[in-house]
Amino acid sequence: MKDLTNAHWIKLKGILFLVLGCAASTLLILERPSWKVAALPGLAIWCFCRFYYFAFYVIEKYVDPTYRFSGLGSFALYLLGSRRR
């Protein structure tokens, strides 16, 4: 499969992720309407976003500027393997 390079389609893809995430969240809350059901997935999503930022920005910019990650698998191998100091 070819890489997506058209800015229009990249933006559309991002908007579709947002719409699907909102739809899934709405359906979950409608299934079991409570503050707990609304808050816990929101907290989980926020934590996963912060982890992603940590894995791809904080490590590269502040911990090991010479290392470039190619995905979460690469990051896991980096953490488990030889740690550069």
| Same domain, yes or no: 42 and 25 | no
| Same domain, yes or no: 38 and 59 | yes
| Same domain, yes or no: 5 and 23 | yes
pLDDT digits over 3-43, tens only? 888 889 889 998 999 899 889 988 988 998 899 988 988 89
pLDDT digits over 41-53, tens only? 889 999 999 988 8
The closest alpha carbon to 24, from 34, 11, 36, 38, belongs to 38
| Same domain, yes or no: 5 and 20 | yes
> How many domains does the chain divide into?
2
The pLDDT value given to residue 41: 86
| Same domain, yes or no: 42 and 71 | yes
Which residues constitute the domain of residue 61?
A: 34-85
Measured CA to CA, the distance from residue 23 to residue 15 in angstroms comes to 12
The pLDDT value given to residue 66: 82
| Same domain, yes or no: 43 and 83 | yes
